[in-house]
Structure 1
Amino acid sequence: MKKKKLLILLLTFSLSFACKDVKKSGDEIDSTIENSEHTAETNKALKTKGEEIKIVPIEHATVILEWGDVTIYIDPTGGPTAFENQKKPDLILITDIHGDHFNMETLEAIDISQARFILPQAVADEMPDKFSKKLEILTNGDSKEFDGILIEAIPMYNLREEAKAFHVKGRGNGYILTINGQRIYFSGDTEDIPEMRSLKNIDKAFVCMNLPYTMTVESAASAVLDFKPKQVYPYHYRGRPDVSDVGMFKKLVDAGNQDIEVVQLDWYPNDEY
């Protein structure tokens, strides 16, 4: 009888360990699945972060950036036809209140259902109330991260006495976007202000140059030679009626620093300016 009880105890003890082993194996399986799913998500994130940044010039100051599954509109103008066959925006950055940067007709006409707006207070004040929940207001010096992209708002303004009324300091924003380790600068409407000249580690710079509203080709080139971006994209270079000489801009930059690549895109496909 004692032997029978001892045998039962031994069997119970063995089964207890077996159950623990089975549970442990199940935990290991669950952990493996979880780790596999985590690895898949990590790989997906790494793939997204490794995507090239695509630049799509629309017109004048309007440009689209695409990075993985994130699409950014800068100063969207031109109406719905300007954005045909383009991806709908996740972020919309607006620099200032003027019609070549902020165009309500365009914003009403394109699909902004999934978009957040990043803009200065002066632009927010002119937005309809129905957009209020979509707005993120940045003032000069502010920064915020969206969809893994750091956005910094920096000053843009005029220096010349005869032009100061066009763009007063603090009203509009230039922007620096840090995307996939690259720092991309959009000047907005500005002259060669100290805040531009002191920029650091800029990979791509979109720099305006038109009179009477912004600055001369010579001033733009001088500023670029100061802050030394790896690439500079002349944009916003047609005024009324003058057209800035971007060929001269390239010559000035090349003469001052051949390490800076001047990239010319087609900003005026319809030749409307």
Structure 2
Amino acid sequence: MPELPQVQALADFLTARLDGLAVTGVECGSIAVLKTYDPPPQALAGLLVAGVSRHGKFIDLDCDGLHLVFHLARAGWLRWSEAIPATTIRPGKSPIALRVRFSDDSGFDLTEAGTKKGLAAYLVTDPAQVPGISTLGPDPLAADFDRAAFAGILGERKKQIKGLLRDQSVIAGVGNAYSDEILHVARLSPFALAGSLDEAEVERLYVALRETLADAVAQAAGKPAKDLKDAKRAGMRVHGRTGEACPVCGDVVREVSFADSSLQYCAACQTGGKPLADRRMSRLLR
């Protein structure tokens, strides 16, 4: 899933590439991808791109006050083309969910792998009209997101810190991969309760959150869309590296599996050397 660093890189790429261009057409390859119906996608034709921004994991194309907002979900991606094919995509006949054309014949396709379809696009006059944006928590890289604000979010919540970091209504932009990375840097168990952290642990987690994301944004900056997935994978310390050596202590990276996801961690760095129970495996071994 694209997370804050990759979404920011995509927004920056589009900002640089679309400066001064107008939208010439929008085509839907999937009936389900467009979550709004008024105004219709044809309303974008002829409008100049005024800017591109990010809201959590959402990308927002401002076209003269009409906003095309999209969320790539778990398996979606943006495929850029300097010369977008002239052929018109047909609903249900293409793996492309949405195609946007621009006045220099460039454009991008939004695609989605797998059978679980979550990619979503909206056409609105105000990004706050998008349900997922209206409920977003603060951006963890915002200038006013200081340690006090973070400590206030943690409060006395009786929620595991891994789940809290991924909750978009609490903190915007962090997903499964970077929550693993942040917790590894902070040397905290993913199952620790947010409200139980002491001041030193809150400080470590705050610094890890900000620095891990800032470093990932810097590493992704300037890369074309096609290279961002590989760059994300290459930059991971523990996420997706089950069975490999921890880059800090050399212990093995372990995994806890759930129904449709998994987390990775280092027991030596994060849980005092104690492996966490893998609930899926525990059920199989009964």
Q: Normalising by structure 1, what TM-score?
A: 0.24
Q: Normalising by structure 2, what TM-score?
A: 0.23
Higher relative contact order (CA 8 A, sep 6+): 2
